[in-house]
Amino acid sequence: MKPRQLIIYFLIFIVLGGFYLFYEVYLKGKEAEFKEVQSKLYDLEFEEITAFKLKNKAGEIHLVRRGEDEWRITKPVETPALTWEARSVVDRVLEAKKERVFEAGADKMAEFGLEKPLQALTFMADSGALAPTLYVGGKNPLGDFYYARLGLSREVFTIPAHIQKTLAKSLLEFRDKNTVLYDRDKIDGLRFLIPKEGELKKDGESKWKIVKPDLGQADDAKIEKLFRIGLKGDIQKFESAETGEDRCGFDKPKIKMQVLSQGKVVAELIVGQAKMMTVDEKNPSKEEVIDGYWAKTSERPEVLLIDEDAFKALNQTPEDLKDKHILKFSRWDVRFVEINGPRAVKLRLSL
């Protein structure tokens, strides 16, 4: 046998031997006492939970449930939360089951990544914590699972990776990122101040009328775009309110408008310049170009970053929003189009 072949076989032996030692000795030794189980983590109902605290690499977040399905973030900032994001944390954890369970002493927690857990979740009610905190540690190398334990229990168990991913969410993921928070269904007026003055009022269930200046009916599609992409579009980034007004362009705004409900101003929106240069205080020589437009509203304490599409949807004048269609009908109601031309030519198109 050639020396080169001997070296290759020797390397293969080392790799296989290392795997055997790791799997058979270390892992099986660590989980020697495990039991296969399918028990739920918590014996709780959704209705019992009125709040939860979540701590992960992104920081600590507190969420409180108001009413049946309204959630608010109370820490680190007071602001509305996305209901479905908050609800998904509660639902997924309540549905989760322990996969493997085994006993482990306090001196073994570091081996499972539970001495300094990745995440900690506590379900709350008005009276305080409802159950022991769920701590999530390291990943199980034998499958798509993570080690976890409840409170200071000696019992360590594995949970599916999607639970760990759910608990890894950041503050931004939980936040309601609509540019304007006020309920769209309750908005019945829009007042434009910059770039040009004007006012719109809701005329019936879904129609809008331009009343200042008196231009008549507004274009349904343009109004829908104004709301869906502009007023209710997603904020890209939140910055401290201490950011200078001149740096954001609020001293010379590109857009200024008011949102009305029953004749009262319920939200004010100002949009400043695009591509503001931000400076890293720890490294003043480093500058970052932000691609977007800075905005602020009367509903939030922070400065907001919106994208180009949101800016274009908001940057409208009354004349831009006027309905300029010659005929008024819904295109979805049309089944045939008949065109009468010269020499008695008739065309009938099926749509």
- Using pLDDT thresholds of 50, 70 and 90, give the confidence band for residue 7: low
For residue 132, give the DSSP letter. P
Res. 37: pLDDT tops 60: no
Residues 211 and 144 in one domain: no
Question: Is residue 189 located within the same domain as residue 322?
Answer: yes
Q: Note the pLDDT of residue 178.
A: 94
Condensed to tens digits (0 to 9), the pLDDT of residues 125-136 reads 987 899 999 999
Least confident of 70-84, 103-117, 237-251: 237-251
- Asked if residue 121 and residue 65 are part of one domain, the reply reads yes
Predicted local distance difference test score (pLDDT) of residue 260: 96
Give the pLDDT mean for 164-189: 94
Q: 43 lies in a domain?
A: yes
Q: Specify if 253 maps to a domain.
A: yes
Q: Has residue 326 been placed in a domain?
A: yes
User: Are 234 and 307 in the same domain?
Assistant: yes
Confidence of residue 289 (pLDDT cuts 50, 70, 90): low
CB atoms within 10 A of CB 80: 18
Question: Do 150 and 228 lie in a common domain?
Answer: no
Residue at a domain's end among 174, 208, 228: 174
Work out the average pLDDT over 108-132.
91
Could you tell me if 329 and 209 lie in one domain? yes
Question: Which pLDDT does position 14 carry in this prediction?
Answer: 62
- Name the DSSP class of 22: I
Q: Is the pTM of this model over 0.85?
A: no
Q: Is residue 24 part of a domain?
A: no
Residue 177: pLDDT above 90?
Answer: yes
* One domain for residues 109 and 220: no
My answer on whether 208 and 87 are in the same domain is: no
Do residues 87 and 207 both lie within one domain? no
Percent of the chain with pLDDT over 70: 76
Model confidence pLDDT, tens digit, residues 314-340: 999 999 999 887 766 666 666 666 666
Partners of 287 in the beta sheet? 279
Mean pLDDT of the chain: 83
In a domain, 249, yes or no: yes
Q: Kindly state the average pLDDT of the residues 15-33.
A: 49
- Average pLDDT value for residue range 77-95: 94
pLDDT at 299: 93
Exposed, middle or buried by CB within 10 Å (0-12, 13-18, 19+), for 121?
Answer: buried
In a domain, 306, yes or no: yes
Flag whether 15 is in a domain: no
Tokens (6 digits) for 246 = 């001149």
Is the pLDDT at 22 greater than 70, yes or no? no
The larger pLDDT score, comparing residue 291 to residue 263, is at 263
CA 161, 167, 172: angle at the middle one, nearest 5?
130
The count of other CB atoms within 10 Å of the CB of residue 133 is 17
Domain boundary among 135, 150, 174: 174
The last residue of one of the domains, among 135, 151, 174, is: 174
Which helix (H) or strand (E) is 6 found in, with range? helix 3-20
Residues 188 and 326 in one domain: yes
Integer-rounded Cα Rg, in Å, for the chain is 30
Same domain, 140 and 45: yes
Q: Is the pLDDT of residue 344 over 60?
A: no
- pLDDT higher for 69 or 32? 69
Per the domain annotation, does 217 fall within a domain? Answer: yes
Amino acid 52 reads F
Give yes or no for residue 187 having a pLDDT over 60.
yes
Is residue 68 pLDDT above 50, yes or no?
Answer: yes
- From 161-170, 252-261, 336-345, the region with the lowest mean pLDDT: 336-345
* 120 CB-near residues (< 8 Å, 6+ apart): 53, 54, 55, 56, 133, 134, 135, 136
* pLDDT tens digits for range 201-254: 998 877 999 999 998 999 999 999 999 999 999 999 898 777 656 678 888 899
Residue 92 has pLDDT above 60, yes or no: yes
276 or 333, higher pLDDT? 333
Range of the domain at 261: 184-333
Is the same domain home to 56 and 158? Answer: yes
Over residues 89-100, the mean pLDDT reads 92
Query: Total structural domains in the chain?
Result: 2
